[in-house]
Structure 1
Amino acid sequence: MALINTTIKPFEAQAFKEGKFVTVTDADVKGKWAIFFFYPADFTFVCPTELEDLADHYETLKGMDVEVYSVSTDTHFSHKAWHDTSPAIGKINYYMLGDQNHVLATNFEVLRAGQGLADRGTFLVDPDGVIQFMEVTAEGVGRNATELLRKVKAAQYVAAHPGEVCPAKWEQGEETLAPSLDLVGKI
């Protein structure tokens, strides 16, 4: 899992978004921040809670020039059926990518060998297509979109302010650090 600071690999996938089937490629991702949010499968248990939580933060993320791509190894047809039948999933306005050929799950190294399912993986990709953040959790551990939003803000801050870094629990507007020889052993 040495994906940090690597460029996303080429892909083409069918997605369900806002009542339509659309094609998404790696070229579509470049030029803005992107979150790839992998989950094991449609019509499951923890997955809809995570996807709904992310849907509740989608407008905020869009306002930060961040696009969201949820991904499972289900088809875009399955995503539509789930969207049409689940109140939680019905809230989603971001892309729901089908990865039945496992290209994306393989590219992001979250495909479970022998199972055909993706692990719970979250990847933040910068406008140049470079992976800046990743998190992979066990199947039973759901993610928190509020914490993801905080990390996106930190990554965007660091990208816009070379020479500064965000300490633990940093929130927008708080002080950052400027690493230097003077700070060694002082924190």
Structure 2
Amino acid sequence: MSLINKEVAPFKATAYHNGKFVPVSEQNFKGKWSVVVFYPADFTFVCPTELGDLADHYAEFQKLGAEVYGVSTDTHFTHKAWHDTSDTIAKVQYPLIGDPNHQLASFFEVLITEGDDHGLALRGTFVIDPEGRIKTIEVHDNGIGRDATETLRRLKAAQYIAAHPGEVCPAKWSEGAETLTPSLDLVGKI
């Protein structure tokens, strides 16, 4: 069964955010849009490029009323150490959630359960609506980095269809572009 439209299950975790350790739960994903970005591990190679890309676009996410959360199976202590030693990660202003007990990686179905990377998370990106329901999912091999501008596009599309029931966003839709209103009149005309 897909996670699309599923409400985030209850959880308790700790994040490193703005120089402090802060509690995080499913309640943080309610009342505003959220973007949850899983990555394999701190102190690695592709991960800082992705988190840095998100940091460079963080103001755009905030303008859209969305909070970004980075999540790995490391501890919040490891997140702090990485933040304190990496120039790229020092730019990160969004919460970095520690998931050493794998509760989030398991719920979001990104936990690697066998092989050399057992216990790490796949690269997974989830857009969550203000009711705490998952609206978009992107999961892929850990050797492939993501693009924050594509995540922004998907967030905008999810926000658009939430605000405009009955409309849908076609392929390559971008903010301001035409949408579609599914109807009998459109069948066979696209």
**TM-score (normalised: structure 1):** 0.98
What is the match of residue 64 of structure 2? 64
What amino acid maps onto 2:105 in structure 1?
Answer: A
Show the 5 A alignment for 1:7-22.
7-22=7-22
Cα drift, residue 144 of structure 1: 0.3
What is the match of residue 109 of structure 1? 109
What amino acid maps onto 2:46 in structure 1?
Answer: V
What is the match of residue 147 of structure 1? 150
Distance 1:55 1:137 in 2: 21
What is the match of residue 27 of structure 1? 27
Show the 5 A alignment for 1:25-174.
25-114=25-114, 115-174=118-177
Distance 2:58 2:152 in 1: 10
Classify the secondary structure of the residue corresponding to 1:123.
strand
Q: 1:176 aligns with which of 170, 179, 186?
A: 179
Distance 1:63 1:146 in 2: 14
Deviations 1:140-175 (A, max 9, x none): 000000011011101100000001111111111111
Distance 2:97 2:189 in 1: 46
Cα drift, residue 27 of structure 1: 1.1
Classify the secondary structure of the residue corresponding to 2:87.
coil
Unmatched 5+ stretches in structure 2:
none
Unmatched 5+ stretches in structure 1:
none
Cα drift, residue 2 of structure 1: 1.0
What amino acid maps onto 1:69 in structure 2?
Answer: Y
**TM-score (normalised: structure 2):** 0.97
- Alignment root-mean-square deviation, CA: 0.7
Distance 1:7 1:14 in 2: 20
* Structure 1 runs of 4+ with >4 Å offset: none
What amino acid maps onto 1:170 in structure 2?
Answer: W
